[in-house]
Amino acid sequence: MSHLILIRHGQSEWNLEKRFTGWVDVDLAANGKLEACKSGELLKDNNINIDYSFSSLQIRAINTLKLVHNTMRIKETFTKAWQLNERHYGALTGLNKDEMKKKFGEKKVHEFRRSWNIKPEPLNKNNPYHPINIETYKDIPKENLPDTESLEDTYNRVLPYYKKNIQNKIVEGKNVLIVAHGNSIRAMCKYLFKLDEKKISLLEIPTGNPLVINFEKNKIVKCKYLDKSRAKDLIAF
Active-site choice (9, 69, 88, 181): 9
Q: What is the spatial distance between Cα 232 and Cα 237, in angstroms, rounded to a whole number? A: 12
Q: Are the beta carbons of 236 and 223 closer than 8 angstroms? A: yes
Q: What is the spatial distance between Cα 226 and Cα 130, in angstroms, rounded to a whole number? A: 35
- Tell me which amino acid residue 176 is: V
Active site residue 76: no
Ramachandran region, residue 150 (left: φ > 0; alpha: ψ -120 to 50; beta: rest): beta
Nearest to 203 by CA among 188, 215, 217: 188
Nearest to 234 by CA among 194, 178, 174, 176: 194
- Tell me which amino acid residue 213 is: I
Active-site choice (3, 35, 69, 86): 86
Helices 151-165, 182-192: crossing angle, 10 deg rounding: 70
Active site residue 9: yes
Stated as kind and residue range, the H or E segment containing 214 is: strand 211-216
Catalytic residue numbers, as ranges: 9, 86
